[in-house]
Amino acid sequence: MKVLGIIPARYASTRFPGKPLIDINGKTMIQRVYEQAKSANLAEVLVATDDERIMAHVQAFGGNAVMTAAHHQSGTDRCFEAYKLHDEPFEYIINIQGDEPFIRPEQINLVAACFAHAGTQLATLIKKITTAEELFNVNAPKVVINKAQEALYFSRSPIPFCRNVPNDIWHQQHTYYKHIGIYGYRTDILEQITQLPPSPLELAESLEQLRWLENGFRITTALTEFETIGIDTPEDLLKVQQVPGE
C-alpha cells in the first residue's frame, strides 16, 4: 500500500498570519509537523504551500515541498493540486494538518490502516469525549458513527440529544466522539470530492466533510486515544510552549 502524506501550509491566516513559520521551542511549526509525519509509515511526505517563504524554509531543513495556488478554500483542494503536480502516482493520500506540531506518527498510521479494507473511500480519526466542556465546545466538531465505524454525521452541536438527562452528565450517559481533523483519501475519491460544490449541510455547520457525506461518500473512522494540539491563535502558541520535553 503506497501512501503519500501531504501537509497543507498556507501563509495567510486571519487569526494567525505566518503561523507555519512560528518558532516552537527552537523549531518552526511546519518543521515539527514534517518530522512527525516522516516518522510514520508513509512512502513520502510533501508540504503543499502557497508561499515562497514556507517553500524555501522547508527546502532549507531538507524537506520536500511544492508550490500550489493561493485560491484554495480547503486543505483538501490544496492536497489534490499538490498530488497532481507531483511526478509519482500514489494509491492513497493522508492530509496532515499543518498546525498540529505534536501529531503522533501512530495517529497517521491509524488513518492509513483504514485503507487495508478494500471498500474504504475516506478515513479520519475520532476520540471519546470525557468532559461536558468538550462536548459543548462549538470549536470541537462531534461525530456520530454506525456499527461499521463509518461516520453518519458531523456537527458542532452535541449529537445525539440526551433526552431527560441534565446537560452536564450527557457524556456519562452516552459515548460521544470528537472529530480529530486528519483525513485519508483514496486518490480517485479525492479527485471526485474536489469537483463537488459546497453543500447545504456544509454551509450550515462550516464543516467540509459534510459535503462528502451529503453526496453519498463513506467516511471510515478509527478511534485514537491521543489528543491533538492545534495552533490557531497566538494564545494557542503560548499553551504549547509549555508542553514538557518539547
Terminal Cα-to-Cα distance of the chain (whole angstroms)? 32
pLDDT of residue 19: 85
Q: What is the pTM of this model?
A: 0.92
Q: Which residues contact 196 (CB under 8 A, 6 or more apart)?
A: 211, 212, 215
Residue 21 one-letter amino acid: L
Question: What would you report as the CA-atom Rg of the chain, rounded to the nearest whole angstrom?
Answer: 18
pLDDT attached to residue 17 = 73
The helix or strand, by DSSP H or E, that contains position 50, with its residue range, turns out to be: none
Ranges of the chain with pLDDT below 50: 246
Grid coordinates representing 194 are 474536489
Cell reading at 37:
509525519
Spatial separation of the C-alpha atoms in residues 47 and 81, rounded to whole Å: 12
Taking alpha carbons only, the member of 231, 213, 72, 74 closest to residue 155 is 213
The per-residue pLDDT for range 50-76, each reduced to its tens digit, is 999 999 999 999 999 999 998 888 889
Question: What DSSP state is assigned to residue 139?
Answer: T
- 54: cell is 514556507
Q: Top-level CATH class of 3-228?
A: alpha beta
